[in-house]
Amino acid sequence: MFAQDHHAQKSEIHDPNWRRAIQSVFHGAESARKVWARHVVDPALTPSQFVSCTDGTRDLIGVVIGGTIPDAEDPRLWDTESTFTLLTEDAEILIVKGWYATSLEQFVESGTEGVEKMKSQDQTYRDDILDVLVIKAGLAQQLDQSPAAKGFWDIHLERLGAAEWPEGPLPQCLVRFDERENPRLGLVISGAWIAPMGDWDLTQPFLAISTDGEIMRSEGCLAEQVSVL
């Protein structure tokens, strides 16, 4: 999944044999096809946006199978500056926060012709970062008022070796449940933790405290569309 040398990886997305191989991985992975089907108008199409990126410490390479398509942009292109879903050659499905990338390269195919899109970018932040901070502050109040939610979060803090809330850190992973009626926001307070990445594995079941104080359970982004904000 993670490589040691981003520069060595970059050439692979330009290799048509490698691209055919990872598309074969996609066709053989039911979970990846389910993610793709939830994000595209025509699930019969094959993913064709191949990405290699790094945040300076970790390198990723694969084909994009979900995310956001910007308005008035090429409909074949997923927004790699936002959150997108990447399928690796090992058939792993990763949620990538594109704004952390310090370098990103992509190759987009159209039919039998390849259209190369290359981009190098400094680390960027979302334009609405202030709104996100305000939302997180409101959710922190909900956490403080919910003994059950606080209990789940304290279990996680104990696992990290941190002090209990409010002395310990606040939850930071803000998600939106896109497919639910009246989609709501929530802060993830429990689930599968990926220690080397220091982040939640949202492909696994998790719990989140919502803006109205409810503890919501999700079976993961493979079961429903979840956006990380």
pLDDT of 34-92, one tens digit each?
Answer: 888 887 877 888 899 999 988 777 788 999 998 887 654 555 678 888 888 899 888 88
What distance in Å separates the CA atoms of residue 62 and residue 46, rounded to the nearest whole number?
Answer: 14
177 or 1, which is more confident = 177
pLDDT at residue 130 is higher than 70: no
pLDDT at residue 4 is higher than 60: no
93-97: average pLDDT: 84
Q: How far is CA 64 from CA 77, 87, 184, 210, in A?
A: 9, 6, 25, 29
**Burial (0-12, 13-18, 19+ Cβ within 10 Å), 126:** middle
pLDDT at residue 111 is higher than 60: no
Lowest average pLDDT, out of 67-81, 168-182, 187-201, goes to: 67-81
Q: Which pairs with CB-CB distance under 8 Å and at least 24 residues apart come from 181-188?
A: 184/210, 184/211, 184/212, 184/216, 185/135, 185/139, 185/210, 185/211, 185/229, 186/139, 186/210, 186/211, 186/216, 187/136, 187/139, 187/140, 187/143
pLDDT at site 110: 67
Lowest average pLDDT, out of 3-7, 10-14, 164-168, goes to: 3-7
What distance in Å separates the CA atoms of residue 173 and residue 154, rounded to the nearest whole number?
Answer: 15
Q: What percent of the chain has pLDDT over 70?
A: 79
